Amino acid sequence: MKLLIVDDHKVVRDGIRRLVEGTTITAIEEAETPSEALAQFRKMRPDVTILDINLKNGSGLDVLRRLRADDPKAKVVIFSMYSDVVYAVSARREGALGYVSKSAQSDELLVALERAMAGETYVDSETAGLMKEHTSRETGISDLTRRELQILHMLGDGKSLSEIAEGLGVAYKTVANTSTRMKEKLGVERTSDLVRFALETKGGRMLEGGN
């Protein structure tokens, strides 16, 4: 089995190499950036790709879309620092077969690789637990558009609507209207509720204080 590891931290890539020693993996290549990831993918045509969400000069989810556009049969396991329901749902929507938090037990990554090789899905136990907690809203998350998910991520990172508008290069009213649609889909009433939900689904972290 050929494996491509896409992560911008060498210590992580080295750790994965050690983890898969003695398995059926016979060839391993690495990449740090989105452009390197796509180049290595096209050169190697790996059986499975392990892909971080946070990369130098880009997003792992964007890389996932590009890999799947290049090869719709690409088997990808997202390896993220977050046990994040929103990211997990986004990754699944974009075609990832696995989602594993870097805080999960190492054997869960091996399970995810095995499942991916078989064309099956896998979510690590911590993230799966959070998804179960929020089952009532998971349908709402799945209904969010790519831009709405992006705004939800940014709210979870502490950005205000004004800062989000500036960061996306759009009018404040556009972001405000989008947040209104998001509230309807997620069944919440206020922007602060959106922030709270974004934080709750990021590794179980809660917003402290406020409404």
> What is the band of 186 on the pLDDT scale with cuts at 50, 70, 90?
confident
Of 188, 185, 162, residue with least CA distance to 174? 162
What are residue 150's phi and psi, to 5 degrees? -60, -45
- Provide mean pLDDT across the span 48-76: 92
Q: Which residue has the tokens 């990369």?
A: 55
Indicate the SS3 state at residue 49: strand
Angstrom distance (rounded) from CA 4 to CA 149: 27
**HSE, side-chain direction, 13 A CA sphere, residue 175:** 21
State mean pLDDT over 158-169.
91
What's the whole-number average pLDDT of the chain?
86
Asked whether residue 210 carries a pLDDT value surpassing 90, the answer given is no
Amino acid 204: pLDDT: 39
Phi/psi region, residue 177 (left: phi>0; alpha: psi -120 to 50; beta: rest), is: alpha
More confident residue, 205 or 83: 83
Encode pLDDT of 7-58 as tens digits.
Answer: 999 999 999 999 998 888 989 999 999 999 999 999 999 999 999 988 888 8
- pLDDT at position 35, please? 94
Query: For residue 69, what pLDDT is reported?
Result: 95
Write down the pTM of the prediction. Answer: 0.70
Where are the alpha helices (H) located in 29-100, listed in sequence order? Answer: 34-44, 60-70, 85-93
Q: How confident is the model at residue 133 (pLDDT cuts 50, 70, 90)?
A: low
Tracing tokens 């989602």 back to the chain, one arrives at 99
Confidence at residue 77, expressed as pLDDT on a 0 to 100 scale: 97
